């Protein structure tokens, strides 16, 4: 497997474009807010969506369009979530119909995504007006623009592509994602689009997505708020010419490995670029009797406001780590817990057998002052482990979210 | 029922004192950090404690001493949680033994409490050295000093007393509490001591506490972190001379009513004085089919970092309220939801039937700019309701917790 440029357009047959449609009134014309992704060949497709009981209209519409297991394109806007408004559903359908018309496909073949403020009416006309120009500008170089267009409070685009072999053919898989705030995915995550030229059945595509997403996007948290718009969409157009993957064979395993790499990359960068974040927190709980318990412990640690604030202050307050484990409802024996902090500046043990150990405070501070820090917990009970990603809690998070809507 | 001064010493037979013992090295001598509460008569007693799997030593020791259902006194320190250290258990026992000796009672009759940093060794000797002086200074005026001594990052003491009638006798019930950070009680809460001169059996006392705490303290959240030290202790010495409450009769109902008033007062003030808080958020979900669902919805709303940050910014971002309801896992129909914001500055409807309504942004901002704001949700499905309390998320919360330990 190797990384390559081109993101969602790296795989054969995919093109993309982005523009400033003016979805949010008064938004800067320099900030693109509308992206279009198109495959020249029909794609088998699978998606995972928010488990929030309140779902945005584009989530419902995309779920309906996915029932056939086939897609051709995606239209996605930032600046408005298109949720909880009287016309939300109609607007989502209208946007799909307009995109289908300019692309010469059926509305059922179009997925739609939105991200932004909830409860304010979407300027669907601005999107519809921008679509013909966008369709004309579809290009193999369009992934970068699309990755930028779906950003809201993100500060960096999240984009990746990898290639790997299936049955002697080179297959490419790429993706873009946005994260930042309201990130605590319970299935899929806030807008992620994955494209591949792999020949793979809809069933195997769905299985691969359901296998990989729980271990990647669902292990990220920024603020514990599961959004109404979470969507992770995977489209495969088969243009790589590999033997069709329709069983859980070597080809499937290679595909899952590549999908894991792509989703892990995007998930990790989503955590690192969490709203206001100054540090990426990677928490690995090992030595557990089950992966599920390790995941619950790890997620409880990276979700804790107190742990997040301590990492912001580079304060080796490991008691908060143990406390967050304790209220996770996952089984473990407090008297067996070992906690270490690590980063590019080194590694330090701060707790052993559930108790304080004497450690060098200056060294701990240096380790926690790095942009990427690791919290390593060993519960010394078994062989299962899980890694979750989060970020620190900063003044900037409060600043961004104290006045996001107005 | 009427409120009166005196806190935990308002009831007959209770005295208290506090001092600066120097529990935390380098702490200001002006800040008391040790409190002693004593009843001249034997008390029936009941307690509720943290459900965190990691429990501090004083929690285990107090649970053991409560097995007899009888207590005489409480010794409690701030500045150190006495958790996760090799000598934690021995220190908690030693402190009880020393308090018992100066008070002339059995160590089993003493409850012990601690609050502060986890994983740093308790200076038990400082406490033991301070106890003889503290015992000599026990006074009917000591509640105020005790309420202050148990504070950590709290900015205001939480103290109340009420009197009511049972069987023609005046009964008094008082309490003190501390909250501030690591507040998301799952049973009892971070240090609350309640005293009464009511004659009530241990069984009825336990029933009353288990009836009231889930609807008061367990409906408070500051930061979603359930502490390792949560303790809510209720002591009744019977000196009011009322007919013993040993059935769920009128006397029991009067007691529960008074206990609810006291606990609600303390819980609300704990939320209002949450770490860094600038506003108290009271969220009432009504019209639910069950109180449990209403509580889960309400708690999810007041726990949401995004809702809390929006309230800090006085931003009427009701979409975040609906979003937090959606991921609460409680049943409700999104299309029936009504949301209103209210405060001393008025009331405004912002969402009806799950959809946006046009509202006056300036009026909404004025309402949300008050020190106490209400989020009123009606799910229009039934007759059950629940109120939870929380606070906004501010720069100050991040400041306090970025460097709490060092």
Nearest Cα residue to A319 out of B156, B181, B179, B274? B181
pLDDT band, very low/low/confident/very high, at A187 (cuts 50, 70, 90) = very low
Widest Cα–Cα separation across chain A: 68
| Chain A residue with minimum CA distance to B275 | A306
- Measured between beta carbons, which residues in chain A are less than 8 angstroms from residue B297? none
State the nearest Cα–Cα gap between B120 and chain A, in angstroms: 7
- Checking if the pLDDT of B179 tops 60, the result is yes
pLDDT band, very low/low/confident/very high, at B356 (cuts 50, 70, 90) = confident
Using alpha carbons, list the distances in angstroms from residue A362 to A135, A316, A346: 57, 10, 12
The minimal CB distance from B326 to the residues A52, A320, A328 is found for A52
A288: three-class secondary structure by DSSP: strand
The winner for highest mean pLDDT among B55-64, B121-130, B168-177, B257-266 is B121-130
The minimal CB distance from A356 to the residues B84, B223, B303 is found for B84
Listed range (A183-197, A220-234, B195-209) with the worst mean pLDDT: A183-197
Residue A201 exposed, middle or buried by CB count within 10 Å (0-12, 13-18, 19+): middle
> Which of A317, A353, A390 to mutate: most B Cβ within 10 Å?
A317
Using alpha carbons, list the distances in angstroms from residue B253 to A190, B156, B166: 50, 31, 10
Extract the tokens encoding A24.
């949010």
| Chain A residue with minimum CA distance to B312 | A402
Is B53's CB within 8 Å of A117's CB?
Answer: no
pLDDT band, very low/low/confident/very high, at A404 (cuts 50, 70, 90) = low
State the nearest Cα–Cα gap between B146 and chain A, in angstroms: 26
- pLDDT value at residue B183: 64
- Checking if the pLDDT of B187 tops 50, the result is no
- Checking if the pLDDT of A205 tops 90, the result is no
Extract the tokens encoding B328.
């609460």
- pLDDT value at residue A281: 94
- Checking if the pLDDT of B366 tops 50, the result is yes
Cα–Cα–Cα angle for A42, A46, A48, nearest 5°?
150
pLDDT band, very low/low/confident/very high, at A137 (cuts 50, 70, 90) = very high
- Checking if the pLDDT of A139 tops 90, the result is yes
pTM of the prediction? 0.78
* Alpha-carbon dihedral sign for residues A82, A87, A93, A94: negative
Catalytic, out of A189, A196, A226, A394? A189
Q: How many CA atoms lie within 13 A of A251 on its CB side?
A: 21
- pLDDT value at residue A177: 83
| Chain B residue with minimum CA distance to A88 | B355
The minimal CB distance from B53 to the residues A51, A326, A399 is found for A326
- Measured between beta carbons, which residues in chain B are less than 8 angstroms from residue A52? 323, 326-327
- Checking if the pLDDT of B274 tops 90, the result is no
Number of neighbours of residue A98 by Cβ within 10 angstroms = 22
- Checking if the pLDDT of B405 tops 90, the result is no
Is A306's CB within 8 Å of B52's CB?
Answer: no
> What mean pLDDT do residues B96-118 have?
94
Percentage above 90 pLDDT, chain A: 54
pLDDT band, very low/low/confident/very high, at B94 (cuts 50, 70, 90) = very high
- pLDDT value at residue A100: 97
The minimal CB distance from A356 to the residues B119, B309, B328 is found for B119
- Measured between beta carbons, which residues in chain A are less than 8 angstroms from residue B351? 84, 119
- pLDDT value at residue A148: 93
- pLDDT value at residue B148: 93
Is A324's CB within 8 Å of B225's CB?
Answer: yes
State the nearest Cα–Cα gap between B314 and chain A, in angstroms: 7
Which residues of B have a catalytic role annotated? 189
Distance CA A57, CA A59 (A): 5
Distance CA A286, CA B244 (A): 54
The winner for highest mean pLDDT among A58-72, A90-104, B269-283 is A90-104
Percentage above 90 pLDDT, chain B: 54
Strands B338-343 and B346-352: antiparallel
- pLDDT value at residue A379: 96
Nearest Cα residue to A345 out of A327, A364, A319? A364
Mean pLDDT of chain B: 89
- Checking if the pLDDT of B65 tops 90, the result is yes
pLDDT, tens digit, for every residue of A43-79?
Answer: 999 888 887 778 889 999 999 999 999 999 999 999 9
State the nearest Cα–Cα gap between A136 and chain B, in angstroms: 35
pLDDT, tens digit, for every residue of A115-127?
Answer: 888 888 999 999 9
| Chain A residue with minimum CA distance to B358 | A120
- Measured between beta carbons, which residues in chain B are less than 8 angstroms from residue A402? 309-310, 312-313, 315
Q: Tally C-beta pairs within 8 A across A and B.
A: 216
- Checking if the pLDDT of B206 tops 50, the result is yes
- pLDDT value at residue A87: 92
A363: three-class secondary structure by DSSP: helix
Nearest Cα residue to A283 out of A379, A388, A391, A364? A388
The minimal CB distance from A398 to the residues B228, B315, B398 is found for B398
> What mean pLDDT do residues A196-217 have?
86
- pLDDT value at residue A36: 96
- Checking if the pLDDT of B60 tops 90, the result is yes
- Measured between beta carbons, which residues in chain B are less than 8 angstroms from residue A224? 224, 303-305
- pLDDT value at residue A263: 85
> What mean pLDDT do residues A170-185 have?
79
- Which regions of B289-398 does DSSP assign to beta strands (E)? 338-343, 346-352, 355-356, 372-378, 384-391
- pLDDT value at residue A138: 97
- Checking if the pLDDT of A188 tops 50, the result is no
The answer to whether B321 touches B328, Cβ cutoff 8 Å, is: no
- Which regions of A280-370 does DSSP assign to beta strands (E)? 280-288, 338-343, 346-352, 355-356
- Checking if the pLDDT of A219 tops 60, the result is yes
Listed range (A309-323, A373-387, B266-280) with the worst mean pLDDT: B266-280
Extract the tokens encoding A62.
């995309």
- Measured between beta carbons, which residues in chain B are less than 8 angstroms from residue A226? 323, 326-327
Is B322's CB within 8 Å of A403's CB?
Answer: no
β-strand partners of A373? A281, A343
- pLDDT value at residue A217: 79
DSSP letter for A4, please.
-
């Amino acid at each position: 497997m190797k990384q390559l440029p081109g993101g969602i357009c790296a795989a054969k047959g995919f093109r993309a474009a982005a523009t400033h449609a003016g979805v949010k009134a008064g938004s800067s014309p320099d900030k693109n807010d509308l992206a279009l992704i198109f495959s020249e060949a029909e794609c088998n497709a699978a998606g995972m969506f928010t488990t929030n009981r309140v779902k945005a209209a584009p989530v419902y519409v995309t779920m309906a369009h996915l029932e056939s297991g086939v897609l051709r394109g995606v239209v996605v806007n930032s600046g408005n979530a298109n949720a909880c408004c009287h016309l939300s559903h109609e607007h989502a359908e209208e946007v799909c119909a307009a995109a289908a018309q300019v692309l010469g496909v059926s509305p059922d073949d179009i997925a739609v995504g939105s991200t932004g403020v909830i409860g304010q009416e979407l300027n669907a006309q601005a999107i519809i007006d921008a679509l013909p120009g966008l369709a004309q500008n579809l290009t193999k170089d369009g992934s970068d623009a699309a990755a930028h267009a779906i950003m809201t409070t993100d500060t960096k685009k999240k984009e990746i592509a990898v290639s790997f072999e299936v049955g002697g053919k080179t297959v490419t898989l790429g993706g873009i994602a946005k994260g930042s705030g309201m990130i605590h995915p319970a299935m899929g995550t806030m807008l992620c689009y994955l494209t591949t030229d792999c020949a793979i059945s809809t069933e195997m595509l769905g299985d691969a997505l359901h296998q990989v997403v729980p271990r990647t996007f669902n292990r990220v948290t920024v603020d514990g708020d599961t959004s109404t718009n979470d969507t992770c969409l995977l489209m495969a157009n088969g243009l790589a010419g590999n033997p069709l993957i329709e069983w859980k064979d070597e080809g499937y395993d290679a595909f899952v490995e590549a999908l894991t790499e792509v989703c892990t990359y995007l998930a990790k960068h989503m955590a690192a670029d969490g709203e206001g974040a100054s540090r990426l927190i990677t928490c690995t709980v090992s030595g557990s009797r089950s992966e599920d318990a390790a995941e619950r412990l790890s997620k409880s640690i990276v979700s804790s406001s107190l742990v997040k604030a301590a990492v912001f202050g580079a304060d080796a307050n490991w008691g908060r780590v143990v406390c967050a484990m304790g209220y996770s409802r996952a089984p473990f024996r407090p008297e067996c817990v070992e906690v270490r902090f690590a980063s590019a500046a080194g590694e330090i043990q701060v707790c052993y057998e559930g108790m304080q150990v004497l450690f060098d405070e200056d060294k701990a501070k240096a380790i926690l002052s790095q942009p990427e820090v690791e919290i390593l917990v060993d519960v010394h009970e078994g062989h299962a482990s899980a890694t979750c990603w989060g970020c620190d809690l900063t003044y900037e998070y409060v600043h961004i979210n104290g006045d996001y809507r107005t």
